[in-house]
Amino acid sequence: MAASSSPDLTLYDPFERMQLVAPACFLCGTPVDPAHQHVTVFAPWLMQRYGLADKEIRLLDQSTTTFRELTIPCCEQCQQHVAAVEARVEAATAADPAGLRQLDDQTLFLWLGKMFYGIFVNELARELEPLIKPRYPLAENRSLFSRFRSFFQVLQGLRVPMQFDDFTPGSVFILDVNVGPEGPAFAYDDDLATMVFSLRLGNVAIISCLLDNDMLRHVMQRVYDDARTRPLHPIQLAEFKARVYYGAYLISAIPEYFPRAVKPGDEVLVMDTFLDDVTGSVFNPWDNMAYAQTLEELWLPWKIELRTILADPREPMSYLYDDAGQPRTITTFPA
C-alpha cells in the first residue's frame, strides 16, 4: 500500500508581488479563470438561507453589486478547503444560529476571515476602475496592507493544516439580540481599516476584530460578560459594536506571525506570534470624544446626536448600563 502524501505546509504570500487582484487562486496562487473558478464571498448556503443572492451591496467607490456577484478566484482544490469550513458552520447553525457558539475559535476565525478578505479584494479590484475615486484609496494605505499581510498568513489555515500556539488571531464576540418581527433576518457591516467584521443571523450577532490576538476580547471581558446576561435591544448591540470598533481603532501594534520550521513527517504547521502575551500596552489612550463619534455613527437609526451622547463629557451616554453601572434591560425604544 502506498504511503499517503504529507500535506503542503508551504505558505503563499500574494502581497510579495502584489497579486491580490491577479487571475490566481486567492489561497495558493495557482493561475485560474476567475469567471469559472471562484468561490462566492458569502457562501451559497448563507445566501440561500437568508435570501441574499440578488440583494445589493454598496462598495467604497459607491458602485453596487450583489451578494451573488461578489466572488474571489479559487482553484478546485482550495474550493474544497473552503467548502469544508462552510459545511461545519452550515451544519452547526442549521437548527439555530446560536449553534455558532458550538464552533471552535479557529473555525469561526477562518469563516469570518474568508468573507472579510473577499470583500477587501473586491474593493481593491473596484479601485482599478472606480465609479467614484475614493478619498482614501486602499491601495495607497501602507499600514492597511501591513495588517492584511499578517492577517493573510493565519487565514491560510483555510488551506494549510495550521495550529496557533497558545493564541487566537482575532477576538470573536457572540451575542443574542432581540431584533423583533420587522427586523431583517440578516445584516453585516465591516471596517477594513480596523479589521472589524460583524454579521447578524436572525437573533444572533457575531462581532469580530480579526487581527488583535484576542486582546480586545481580553480587555472587554467584563462588558462582554454583562452583554451576554440577556438578549440585547438593537440599540444596545450598536453600542457594543461601537466599543469594539473604537477599541480596534486604538490598537497601535500589528501582530506578527512566524511559522515554525517544518520537520519531515509534520502534518501541521505551527504558528507563533510576537504579541500573544501582550495586553494593554498596545492600546492607545481612550478618548471619550472619539468614542462618542463612533457611537453617534452607529446610533444613526435612532437619531441620537453627539451633544446628547456627551451631555456628561466624562461619561458618554449608554444603553448597555444604567446610571449605577449595572447591565440595563431594554425591550422597546425609547426606553
Q: What is the mean predicted confidence (pLDDT) over 41-68?
A: 94
Q: What is the mean predicted confidence (pLDDT) over 233-239?
A: 97
- Collapsed DSSP state (helix, strand, coil) of residue 325: coil
Range with the lowest mean pLDDT among 103-117, 202-216, 321-335?
321-335
Domain boundaries, the chain: 13-164, 168-335
Residues listed for the chain: 335
**CB contact at 8 A, 194 and 248:** yes
* pLDDT tier at 1, thresholds 50, 70, 90: very low
* pLDDT tier at 333, thresholds 50, 70, 90: confident
* pLDDT tier at 125, thresholds 50, 70, 90: confident
Q: What is the mean predicted confidence (pLDDT) over 89-99?
A: 97
* pLDDT tier at 136, thresholds 50, 70, 90: low
Residue 88 has a pLDDT of: 98
**CB contact at 8 A, 291 and 297:** no
Provide the CB-side half-sphere exposure for 7 (13 A, CA). Answer: 15
Residue 140 has a pLDDT of: 67
Backbone angles phi, psi at 85, to 5 degrees: -65, -45
Q: What is the mean predicted confidence (pLDDT) over 112-132?
A: 87
The DSSP result for 176-195, as a single string, is: EB---TTS-SEEEEEETTTT
Query: How far, in whole angstroms, is CA 264 from its chain's centroid?
Result: 35
Residue 277 has a pLDDT of: 46
Range with the lowest mean pLDDT among 11-15, 89-93, 318-322?
11-15
Computed over every residue of the chain, the mean pLDDT equals: 91
Q: What is the pTM of this model?
A: 0.93
Q: What is the mean predicted confidence (pLDDT) over 42-58?
A: 97
Q: How far apart are CA 314 and CA 322, in angstroms?
A: 15
Higher local confidence (pLDDT), 324 or 140: 324
Residue 276 has a pLDDT of: 43
* pLDDT tier at 93, thresholds 50, 70, 90: very high
**Percent of the chain topping pLDDT 90:** 78
Residue 191 has a pLDDT of: 92
Q: What is the mean predicted confidence (pLDDT) over 257-265?
A: 93
Q: CA dist 58 to 119, 122, 126, 139, Å?
A: 11, 11, 11, 19
- Collapsed DSSP state (helix, strand, coil) of residue 258: strand
Residue 2 has a pLDDT of: 44
**Percent of the chain topping pLDDT 70:** 93
Q: What is the mean predicted confidence (pLDDT) over 268-283?
A: 74
The most confident of 10-24, 75-89, 140-154, 182-196, by mean pLDDT:
75-89
Q: How far apart are CA 172 and CA 214, in angstroms?
A: 8
277-316 per-position pLDDT tens digit: 455 468 899 999 999 999 999 999 999 999 999 999 999 9
Q: What is the mean predicted confidence (pLDDT) over 230-240?
A: 97
Residue 274 has a pLDDT of: 81
